[in-house]
Amino acid sequence: MQDILSAPSKGKSAQADKTDTIARLQDWCAELRARLPGLVEVALLRLAPEGSALITAAPEDTVTGRLGYREAIARMRAAQAAVLLPLDRTEDGIAEVIAMPVRPPHAASGAPAEIAVLVGVAEMSASRVQLIMAQLEVALGWLMFHLGRQAMDETRELAQIHEQAFLICAEMLDAERPTEARQILASLLAKYLKADRVVLVRLGIFGLRIQSISGESKFDKKSQLNDLTRQVAHEAQLRRAPISWRRSAPEKASLMGRLGEMHGDAAIDAVPLTDALGNITEVVVLHWSDDAQLPDIDAWSVVWTLARPILAEKDRAARGFVMRNLMASKTVLRRLFGPRAFKLKLVAALLLTAVFVTAFVQVEDTLRADVVIDDPDLRVMSAPIDGFIEEVFVIPGDRVSAGQALLKLEDDEIRLRIAELEAQKARHMARAALARSNRDRAEAAVAEAEQAETDARLSLARRELAQTVISARVDGIILEGDLRQRLGARVTFGEELMRIAPQQGIEVQLSVRNRDGDRLAIGLQGRLRLEAAPDVPLSVQVMRLQPRAETIDGELRFVAFGELSAGALEIENGMQGAARLDLGQATIYAVWIRPILETVYMFLWRWLP
């Protein structure tokens, strides 16, 4: 139940309504005491969670704080029903106490009573006491009727206040500019709340400033008056709650007291306007020169709740592009450094961390290159002389070392020719010696010439004998040449017999994109993986560069040649793979972000007019 003395009736001031209500209630208590013999004291109490307060009583000097009264009220509140409590001893002619709760018709079912009737009864018989309690219940009908009518008047007045409050909000929404909406708010508040002056103070970039003032106001000492108004608004903003000042209040030395004295006011209220996020950027300061008809500020909560969001929407609609972005940035910063918005703070922290890592953390920078095994030094073992295969020592797949015998050709014929040539050489030597002894120089010269010819033929035969054993010139693996089925077959000079893939110093072709051509340099080292064995990393080093780019698969690429150390891996010409050449350390931005930005820039630049 609302306080029956809290709100004025329609057409009456709060003070007059309060006086009239108390007078009627006091008359009711006196009349009840006069009509029912045996009633010593009759009092009406207002109940609250922290205790009870006297509304009126008959006689007026009734002491409601006596022990018996307090105990009766406590029992009544516990039972939520009428209580009859006999006193231990008669006190001021009172032998028993009756405490009855009063619930008006509009009270919710089961709600605790907020008004109680406290009756002190003289000593009498039990039947007489029961009769008095019955008569009290009948007499409470007028009181309940009065309370119901009071509640109806309060509801009607509250509905009228709400109607006026929504009318103010509608007028503000119809305004075209924020300044007009603020002026409408100040003017209509002055009209409906019967205030002499309404000032709207707004928090701007440079602090609080007066935004709008209703009607005609006194401007004596205007500068001091406005300064005090801003200070009062600042105090309400700090307290985050409405503050009031009345001429009869003892705190006349306060800011509101100084403002009231300077403006000649009897009452001042400062009400902060809160937005949806709980921020207070505007305060309404109301002045009254007469405190006889002060409204209930709390009843206008609709205006205090809706005004700030409406003004905020008007401000947003009136902002330009620059101001909208500036205010959006301000809002984000306020939330970012405020006590709430944990998700926003988390996202901002992650973004800042990502930016820091991207800009300052260094990672390994590599240059990607496509690789093709194109070794011109693939060893082809050909027949050095004509002959017949006598013996084969290796087959494809065998690993050989430099100097290892691969196969042997028949050498019988060559050995016979060598023996014959050696015999001819001996004869020519003997002829030359005999001619020199006979002093036949001509014959000696002929013999020596024939001996020299025989020596040349003998040297050639011995060389052919040495070539009958074909040996590997490099370490490697036999790729082709299974000659086991050709044992005894004839081979001719220059015929290909075997192919050997060397295992060290293999030359590879590396090609990079056109945009990376300036990064390709001699001496770069890196890692290479072939598609045939992607799990085996190989070491590669750039040895020479091709002076100009060439077209590979329809794309212009820069080509370099490097040396590959294959180790135990079997390498064949035509194998493909990918290499990453080490370029040192660089930031994540330079490694991943900048190439993407450059690609996008080139694409857009190419298509821009």
Number of alpha carbons in the 13 Å side-chain half-sphere of residue 405: 11
Kindly state whether residues 575 and 463 are assigned to the same domain.
no
Q: Domain count of the chain?
A: 4
443: left (phi over 0), alpha (psi -120 to 50) or beta: alpha
Query: Is 358 part of a structural domain of the chain?
Result: no
Chosen domain end from 160, 190, 211: 160
Give the strand pairing for 379-382 and 496-502. Answer: antiparallel
Question: Are 407 and 509 members of one domain?
Answer: no
Please name the residues in contact with 605: beta carbons below 8 A apart, sequence gap of 6 or more.
none
Q: Is residue 47 part of a domain?
A: yes
Residues 185 and 145 in one domain: no
Is residue 465 assigned to a domain? yes
The 3 state secondary structure assigned to 126-151 is HHHHHHHHHHHHHHHHHHHHHHHHHH
Give CA–CA dist 64/72, Å, rounded: 11
Q: Are residues 89 and 187 in the same domain?
A: no
Q: Which of 111, 127, 160 is the last residue of a domain?
A: 160
User: In the Cβ-directed half-sphere of 114, how many Cα atoms lie within 13 Å?
Assistant: 14
Residue 366 covered by a domain: no
Classify residue 369: in a domain, yes or no: no
Q: For residue range 452-487, list pLDDT tens digits in order.
A: 888 888 888 788 777 778 877 777 777 777 777 777
Say if residue 400 is in the same domain as residue 460: yes
Length of the chain: 609
Task: Please indicate, yes or no, if residue 429 is contained in any of the structural domains.
Answer: yes
For the chain, report the end-to-end CA distance as a whole number of angstroms.
77
Residue 35 to residue 135: CA distance in whole angstroms: 10
Q: Are residues 443 and 579 in the same domain?
A: no
Tokens found for residue 64: 């409601």
Which residues of the chain have a pLDDT value below 50?
A: 1-14, 217-221
**Do 538 and 572 fall into the same domain?**
yes
Compute the mean pLDDT over every residue in the chain, rounded to the nearest whole number. Answer: 82
CA distance 423 to 140: 164
Q: Which of 277, 298, 324 is the last residue of a domain?
A: 324
Report yes or no: 14 and 8 within 8 Å, Cβ to Cβ. yes
**564 strand-pairing partners:** 506, 540
Tell me, yes or no, whether 513 and 481 share the same domain: no
Are residues 142 and 189 both part of a single domain? Answer: no
- Residue 574 lies in domain: 505-607
350: tokens are 């992650």
Q: What is the pLDDT of residue 24?
A: 80
Both 481 and 522 in one domain: the answer is no
Whether residue 229 lies inside any domain: the answer is yes
Do 296 and 225 fall into the same domain? yes
pLDDT of residue 504: 62
| pTM for the structure as a whole | 0.51
Beta carbons within 8 Å of 155's beta carbon, 6+ residues apart: none
How far is Cα 458 from Cα 45, in angstroms, rounded to an integer? 149
CA distance 53 to 162: 31
337-391 residue pLDDT tens: 878 788 888 999 999 999 999 999 999 999 999 998 876 556 777 777 778 877 8
Give residue-wise pLDDT tens across range 544-576.
998 888 888 888 899 999 988 766 666 777 789
Does some domain include residue 223?
A: yes
Pair 180, 151 in one domain:
no
Q: Which residues contact 103 (CB under 8 A, 6 or more apart)?
A: 1, 111, 113, 144
For residue 82, what is the domain's CATH number?
Answer: 3.30.450.40
What integer pLDDT is reported at residue 361 of this predicted model? 92
